[in-house]
Each structure stands twice: as C-alpha cells, then as structure tokens.
Amino acid sequence: KYVFWETQPVTQFNEGGEIEEGPIAAPRAVDDVQAQPYCLPDSFEWCVCNLNEDAVVQEVYELLSNNYVEDDDNMFRFKYSASFLKWCLLCPGHRLEWLIGVRVKASRKLVGFISAIPANIRVNTKTVAMVEINFLCVHKKLRAKRLAPVLIKEITRRVNKCDIWQAAYTAGVLLPKPVATCRYYHRSLNPRKLIDVGFSRLAPRMTMARTIKLFKLPGTTATPGLRECRQDDTPQLVELLNAHLGLYKLAPMFTPAEVTHWFQNIDGVINTFVVESPDAPGRVTDMVSFYTLPSSILGHPQHTELKAAYLYYTIALSVPLRQLVSDAMVLAAARGYDVFNALDLMQNESFLRDLKFGQGDGQLHYYLFNWRLAGGCSMAPQDVGLVLM
C-alpha cells in the first residue's frame, strides 16, 4: 500500500474509464501555496545547495556517491561526477532554491537531497511547463523514516510557488503509476572487465577470447562528416530536434539556450556529434549524443569503477540510426568506456539486436506528477521521446 502516494495527484493503479487527459488536481493560485517550508524532524534543517560553490558540489557528490541508486543485487552504485551534477543542475532556467538539501543541525552534515530543473514537456498534443525531478536521496542511515515524502512535498511547494504544477521523473521502483516502462540494454565495450566484476557473464560455450572478438569494434567511425558538435550548430539542431521529437507522445521541447547547454562536449560528462553533410558544407543532417555516468563497483578487490556511456538523444536522417549509434560506440570505446547503455525507447529497438546489446536486469519507469493520460492509460516505450539523467 502506497500510504504517501495515495495522497498525491498522480494516476492511481485502480483508475480507468472515461477520464480526460490533463491535470489531476484543481488549478490553484500561487498565493494559496503554503509560504512556510514543511517541518523536518527536530534535528534536521533545510538548506539550498548552491552548486556554484565547489565545496557544496563536493558534498552533494559525496552524498550521492555513497547513498544513491544501486542495482537489485547491490553490486554497483551510480557515481555521478561533480562536473556532471553541475552540468545537469545548473542548466538554463535553473533556480538554486530547487536544489534542496537536508542537513543535520548539529554537524551540518548533508544527509538528504532532491532537485528540480525546468523543462517544457509535450504530452500528446499539449505542451506543459514542468520540472524534471532527479537525485532524490536520503542517507542510508536515515532510511525508512518517511523523510522522502517530506522532501517531495517541499520541492512540490517550491515549484508551485513558481506557478508550475506538473513534473516528470523516472525511477527504477514501481510507484503509482508509470506512464511508460522502459528496459535498459547494455553493449559490452570491455567484456573482460565486465565479466571480471560480475556486470556480465561469459555466455555458455563461449571462451573469453571469442567473447572479446565478438564485441570488438572498428577503430574508426563509418559516417563521413561526423564531427563534434559546436555552439554554432545550435540553430540547426533546434530545428532538427524539435521536428524529430514531434514523433513521440512524451517529449521535451528545447529552446535554443537549452540545445546549446544539453548538446555540448564536456569531457567525461556529455558528448555530442553531428553529421555535417559532405554535399552541403555547413548543413547538419544528423546527431548522436551520450552522457557519462560511471558506477562504483562495490567490494571488488581490483576494480573500483565501471565507466558507462548512456545513449542520450539521436537524430538519424541521412544515415541509418544503427550506423550513428555504432559510431558513437566506436568513439566511446576509444575513450576508454567499459559499457554502452541504451533504453528501448524512441526508435532504439531498431538497432539493439544488430549492435549486440543485451537486455539488462533493470527497468526504468517514467512518471508524471499531476497529469493523467486519457483513461489513466500508459504508453509503449517506443512512444517515449524523453531522456532524463
């Protein structure tokens, strides 16, 4: 039973019937939103995590490195880098009061976090000013004390104070009620290490030598005109992205400032490549991007970190998507990544098998806060055009 989520404006599991698509809770005025922060247990206090300060980024980085998401068998834990957190959370339109920390009053130790960033998200025909919620984390020693609902209510209040009433978020856990459920797929770049650390296994009747050969990638990319994205590509990318994302039922709408921010090249954070047409110099026809999210390898004597690339947004117009993603993997392999990950959303199913991805044991549920789909229904992974970090 979902004691907290039953009280929230989210689609419940038992819903159905003739309900219309749109907000779940009646619209309210900003002035009617509670002015006071929610109460925390006595020994804790709220803080704003100003990620422009290196010492604060370091505290958030350490909280997440030690307490954030693990796989089902607790073998790996996400280890977002400090520079990744800055890229992700200091995006266009960010508000510092939406980077919420919880500290122990006595020691000032950071023990909780949640973040919101603004995003225009289209659901079917309606584009809604929303926030994306991410990095909800409570220190391991303070689990199951109902702190998470307080963090969620407080960020809801602060976002509502800015006249925003909807949110999108993803989670590996099942909550009321996913708008879509995607699967993770993994493509080995460094099979020996993946097998050594228990991320993958040697297939039956396969030797290590044959496995390494199976996953070997070409030394160079196949697409003529493929190059790193530059800031002056933004106008063309805005057009390409917003047109392409129109194919999906759930997708962001990017402003030029957002395209410049989300599709740049920051070593070890985000990589974006475009195809500049060999026939029409200056004309961008395709793009592929991936972000870097390493995981700590828990309790392994030799290896401590798994270097993973996650496929972000792609647009394939002049070459097959399979070729663009293959080139992205070649570039990732050359940069020393161990594994290349993707979800089965957008048109990704079209290349997963050919490019030797295998299904992972993790799922990713997509959720909307205060927005219901017609009839309380959900959509297929291929209808999802939104990738969150």
- Contacted by 72, from ligand EN5, ligand NHW, none: CB < 5 to 8 Å by type: ligand EN5
Which of 72, 107, 141, 205 binds ligand EN5 (CB under 6 A)? It is: 72
Q: Minimum CB separation from ligand EN5 for residue 149, in Å?
A: 18
As a whole number of angstroms, the distance between CA 287 and CA 314 comes to: 5
Let me know: does 101 contact 316? Beta carbons within 8 Å.
no
Q: Minimum CB separation from ligand EN5 for residue 358, in Å?
A: 2
Q: Minimum CB separation from ligand EN5 for residue 192, in Å?
A: 12
Q: Would strands 166-171 and 44-48 be described as parallel, antiparallel, or unpaired?
A: unpaired
Which of 66, 227, 361, 380 binds ligand EN5 (CB under 6 A)? It is: 361
Got the DSSP string for 63-119?
Answer: HHHHHS-B-TTSSEEE---HHHHHHHHS-TT--GGGEEEEEETTT--EEEEEEEEEE
Nearest C-alpha neighbor of 155 from the set 81, 89, 92: 89
Residue 389 as a binder of ligand NHW (CB under 6 A): the answer is no
Residue span binding ligand NHW (CB under 6 A) among the ranges 82-90, 128-136, 249-257, 293-301:
128-136
As a whole number of angstroms, the distance between CA 56 and CA 281 comes to: 44
Q: Minimum CB separation from ligand EN5 for residue 248, in Å?
A: 18
* Exposure string for 125-136, b = 16+ CB within 10 A, e = fewer: eeebebbbbbbb
Please identify, using beta-carbon distances, which residue of 172 and 218 lies nearer to ligand EN5.
172
DSSP letter assigned to residue 372 = B
- Contacted by 145, from ligand NHW, ligand EN5, none: CB < 5 to 8 Å by type: ligand NHW
Q: Minimum CB separation from ligand NHW for residue 92, in Å?
A: 19
Annotate each residue in 281-320 with x if it binds ligand NHW (CB under 6 A) or - if it does not, as one string. Answer: ----------------------------------------
Please identify, using beta-carbon distances, which residue of 99 and 137 lies nearer to ligand NHW.
137
- Contacted by 360, from ligand EN5, ligand NHW, none: CB < 5 to 8 Å by type: ligand EN5
**According to CB under 6 A, which residues from 60 to 79 bind ligand NHW?**
67-69
Residue for token pair 């050969």: 213
Let me know: does 17 contact 377? Beta carbons within 8 Å.
no
- Contacted by 313, from ligand NHW, ligand EN5, none: CB < 5 to 8 Å by type: none
Secondary structure of 161-197 in HEC code, one letter for each residue: CCCCCEEEEEECCCCCCCCEEEEEEEEECCHHHHHHC
Q: Minimum CB separation from ligand EN5 for residue 88, in Å?
A: 10
**Which residues fall within 8 angstroms of residue 76, CB to CB, at 6 or more apart?**
70, 199, 295, 296, 297, 298, 306
- What three-state secondary structure class fits 230? coil
As a whole number of angstroms, the distance between CA 94 and CA 50 comes to: 11
Residue 179 as a binder of ligand NHW (CB under 6 A): the answer is no
Which of 88, 119, 155, 355 binds ligand NHW (CB under 6 A)? It is: 155
Let me know: does 385 contact 251? Beta carbons within 8 Å.
yes
The binding site for ligand EN5 (CB under 6 A) comprises 69, 71-73, 75, 134, 170-172, 184, 186, 188, 199-200, 358, 360-362, 364, 388-389
